A and B are shown apart, each in its own frame.
Chain A
């Protein structure tokens, strides 16, 4: 009872209690011989210059706390607050709190980092926010705090790397986070022995336990809205200074197929888009392998017409389908990699050389079947339907396992690979959470119960 009432009334100690675990909370007392005032603000959402100019400097110039307090309280935009919840709300939205005796006054020093924030590059969406995380930790924290104004969002700071001394912030929603995940993460971060840490992806490599793995277990994202979305789901985010990416964990397989504009679309459109992505992944994994199986091992599986068509297009190809597929897929990888590294000005050269010369000339020369060219383009394009880069790269590598299995055993190789990777995915855990299973069956059960159906 008493605790509740205590919370209701605004007091410095009450605020401190609620914001415990806020690594970016600044809590100072300013003292002159005539008395002292307390100053509280959250660094990441406030403007340091405005604070020193408008709050700290006048205090020492006046040297009189009572006069100073009335100066602060009368300042346009300031607010005298008596209720606890409102006080925390104001602090989180970029106010500084000045406490004198029992009175609290809030002074607007919000910093909005609109100008220096860049647009997203690797995770573009059609509608919705386009702010990207920058390379400055303070800016990033500002971007996230502004989107997640809750006292439950805690930030803890640590330094990683003996030489690089990279500042890292661990963010989580205290009420929703799984404490085991948090404990495991902190333990791993403590036991890290690194000299240099420069990128978020690097850190994800070090904090995942097993060395041999093809699937990412943490999301590396540049979108603050994705970070916020995941924080609200009870996940932990790590932000690093000097890199424009955040790590979100624990991340399960399905998380990598969520684009941030799924929520903006109508429900059926969103579901259709998700289905497209799954289809894309299935095609990029299976098409090359099935092509090998159908041409070299089991042409009788497909319709006669298709088998003849493929056979006809391969009539001049002087080597088995496995060589053809590997050759073309490696070519495709070269193109993708090269167009990534090429300077902007020469970029179009790659597409011309790749698309026109390689595609046209190779088929004209009879080195590659026409169907193969179509197939390779489909594979390359559908690979990039996955919204998150890490996963789309994993799948890019994964398809070669299927190709090799198909080259050795035909269709049955594809089946073996499918079973193997399904079970491998299911055996993975991301910070103790199952990585892959039919999650929707779990949610169907609970949503039925919520609606009072089922029984």
Chain B
């Protein structure tokens, strides 16, 4: 059984949708007068370029994950630390989503539930599910997108056609478009495009990825970024928008649904994004777990031994996240922004490394 190329788009879509949750809108809105809009354009171009280059090179290694590729081309002393660094990155990506969502849940949905209880609930489902095989995870991702995408589209359309949405504020904002781009914003905005990076492990179930219409990806990314950036401005005003931590959740809370059992858009938004965020955390931890597993000596195909290792790794993941929960909102944000940067350079490095591996292997064969 192997995955169809369609699932690559699912991975992409997942990342581009969840970027709205926390760090990307805040980073973009912080620099809204200093080049956020031009950064969005730069991010769309570089993001698409990254996707194009990455899929080109990963296609040369059908059915192989990052550990296998590195093992076949690089010396062990170089490959192992690199993979461990990437594994830690992936772990933090998943953990940050969970921690953000615990904070959001506490602030917007269940103020009386104990934060640890919420996090334990999240950790239970994420740890259990990240043990599932990659192909099933892709099926699950697609089903989740099938559930959440209509809700997200509804939220977006409802937000934009709302009479309370101030187009004047948006037009006012556009007068700042010609400002030169800003590094922070580019790093934040390219996160929209970085769903492809999970192919580092998921490529194991893809045999010959056939991508058609890459421009759809850049168009979708551009639309998502524009919505992410302009809709909060349309609701909170060009200046008022900076007062919110979870900008998009406050924005969703400003919208009223007139004819439904649920009156506040926030809950629809929260339901859709929490579902998607959990699945994305599961996928990220799956990648992190697989990268760590690849660095342990082979178990010789014994399922019991593999299970024990997975339990240890996921236990460490969960324990680390519980420890990270002691961070306050400010530190969480700093870590998130730091990670956005590191991730971007990491992606660039990964693509270069893959091209290098391909070059080494080709030279060896010749």
A-to-B contact residues, CB < 8 Å? 297-298, 300-304, 306, 405, 408-413, 415-416, 418-420, 422-427, 434, 436-438, 441-442, 445
Contact = CB atoms under 8 A, between A and B. Distances in A.
B105 interface: yes
Most chain A CB within 10 A, of B121, B133, B275, is at B121
Contacts of A413: 121
Nearest to A455: B212
Contacts of A438: 139, 142-143, 146
Interface stretch (B170-178, B263-271, B340-348): B263-271
A419 B125 contact: yes
B132 interface: yes
B275 A411 contact: no
15 contacts: A297-B110, A297-B112, A302-B263, A408-B117, A409-B113, A411-B271, A412-B105, A412-B109, A422-B144, A426-B136, A426-B137, A427-B132, A427-B140, A434-B139, A436-B139
A416 B142 contact: no
Given A303-B261, A419-B144, A438-B143, A427 B133 contact: yes
Residue from A297, A302, A416, A441 whose CB has the most chain B CB atoms within 10 Å: A416
Given A415-B271, A416-B124, 9 more contacts: A298-B109, A302-B261, A410-B110, A411-B110, A412-B105, A412-B121, A419-B129, A426-B136, A442-B4
Nearest to A411: B109
B261 A423 contact: no
B59 to A, nearest CB: 21
Interface string B112-138: 110001100110110011001101110
Contacts of B140: 422-423, 425-427, 437
A408 B110 CA distance: 12
B143 A408 contact: no
Given A410-B110, A423-B129, A437 B143 contact: yes
B136 A427 contact: yes
Interface string B134-175: 011101101110110000000000000000000000000000
Chain B interface SS verdict (over half): helix
Which interface residue of B117, B136, B142, B274 has the most chain A CB atoms within 10 A?
Answer: B136
A302 B262 contact: yes
A303 B261 CA distance: 6
A173 B263 CA distance: 54
Contacts of A422: 140, 143-144, 147
B9 to A, nearest CB: 11
A418 to B, nearest CB: 7
A285 B125 CA distance: 18
A401 B125 CA distance: 13
A423 B141 CA distance: 8
A300 B264 CA distance: 9
Q: Which of B105, B117, B139, B143 has the most CB atoms of chain A within a 10 A radius of its CB?
A: B139
A413 B110 CA distance: 11
Closest 10 CB pairs of A and B: A437-B139, A426-B140, A427-B136, A426-B139, A423-B140, A427-B132, A423-B129, A420-B125, A419-B278, A426-B136
B282 interface: yes
B282 A441 contact: no
Interface in B1-28: 1, 4, 6
A159 to B, nearest CB: 33
Nearest to B272: A415
A306 B261 contact: yes
A409 B118 contact: yes
A423 B121 contact: no
Contacts of A426: 132, 136-137, 139-140, 143
B351 interface: no
A306 to B, nearest CB: 6
